[in-house]
Amino acid sequence: MEFRIKHTWDGLPVSHEPITVGLRLDNAGLLVEVRAPFFNDPPAPPGEPGKPFGGLWDYEVVEEFFLSDRTEQYLEVELCPHGQYLLLLLAGRRKVWKEELPLEFEEKRGNMKHFTLCLHMNCRKDRNQIYFHEACFNVALGSDLVMLLKLDYFQWPKWNSLL
């Protein structure tokens, strides 16, 4: 299954090659493959590559969200092109209950255990402290950016193409 992120969170076209996020099942779980332009703006975070890094959302990352189909719990996965990552388990919007979970991550590949639902978006902040948010699924026109993480905007992909 493949998703192409071609729009900003509010529906405008991106000004670069679209980000592609591929999902496929393998023996270890769900394999997430990311192909994205490399902006290097801001430069690499100070954390060690291959390790979790708190505050990664302030750097160039591709984020995936996997929402439970039974509760408002979800997994947020942030992958940085410099090798750092961050996994957060949340219960409701922005309520972290577990953080810096382990992940097998190398280069631009992350391998996770099974979860059920996802919304993909890219987020990066440049040297001028300006955030750029892009989304696979658009948020309603007229919404503000705070609505981006509202669980109502998570969408169900067609999982039968993955299974």
The share of the chain scoring above pLDDT 70, in percent, equals 64
Edge to edge, the sheet with strand 61-67 lists 7-8, 131-135, 118-125, 61-67, 73-79, 85-91, 96-99
Q: Is the bond leading into 42 cis (omega within 30 degrees of zero)?
A: yes
> pTM score, two decimals?
0.74
Please give the DSSP secondary-structure letter assigned to residue 152: G
Burial of 152 (0-12, 13-18, 19+ CB in 10 A): exposed
Q: How many CA atoms lie within 13 A of 142 on its CB side?
A: 0
Q: What is the pLDDT of residues 44-64, one digit of tens each?
A: 999 999 899 999 988 888 888
Per-residue model confidence (pLDDT) at position 45:
93
First and final C-alpha spacing in the chain: 9
R_g of the chain, CA atoms, integer Å: 15
CA gap 71, 37 in Å, rounded = 34
Helix (H) or strand (E) segment spanning residue 123? strand 118-125
Q: What is the pLDDT of residues 114-141, one digit of tens each?
A: 333 333 344 454 555 555 667 766 665 5
CA gap 12, 133 in Å, rounded = 11
Q: What is the pLDDT of residues 25-49, one digit of tens each?
A: 777 777 888 888 888 888 899 999 9
